[in-house]
Structure 1
Amino acid sequence: MTLKDIISGESEFIEFKQEVPKKSEVYMKTVVAFANASGGKIVFGVEDGTCKVVGINQEDVFP
C-alpha cells in the first residue's frame, strides 16, 4: 500500500481503522465481508474520513 492509495481514501476494497480495537468483533465483520467478496485490505493507523496517518502503538498489536 502506498501513500497514494491512502490519500485516495476508502473504497469497496480498502477500509481504514484509526486503532486496533480491543475486541476483534469490531473489525472481523469487515474481514468476513472482504472474504465473501473479492478480498480487500484493512489499514490500521489511518483516521477514517480524513485519511490522516496516525500510526499505532506496537503494544496495541502485540501486547
Structure 2
Amino acid sequence: MTLEEILHLEEKQIFDRKSINIEPKSLAITIVAFANADGGTIASGLSDKTCRIEGVDFET
C-alpha cells in the first residue's frame, strides 16, 4: 500500500488513522477492537481529522 493510497482510504472497521501524539491507552483500545474483529490496519502518524503526516520534519 502506498502513502497516497493510505491518505485517501476511508476510516472504517478495518482501517484507522492515529495521530503520532496518541495516548497509549487510546491506541490499545483500537488494537483490541481490531483483534476482536477480523483484524485491520492502523496508520500511525497521520492526523485523524486533517490526514496530515505528523512526526516528520519536511523542512530538512
Q: Do they fold alike, i.e. is TM over 0.5? A: yes
Structure 1 residue ranges, 4+ long, deviating more than 6 angstroms after superposition? none
Q: CA RMSD in A?
A: 1.8
Alignment of 1:13-28 (within 5 A): 13-21=14-22, 23-28=23-28
Percent identity for Structure 1 against Structure 2:
33
Q: How many residues align?
A: 55
* TM-score, normalised relative to structure 1: 0.68
Q: SS of 2:35's equivalent?
A: helix
- Where structure 1 has 5 or more consecutive residues not aligned to the other structure, the ranges are 58-63
TM-score computed with the length of structure 2 as normaliser = 0.70
Alignment of 1:36-55 (within 5 A): 36-54=36-54
The unaligned stretches of length 5 or more in structure 2 are none
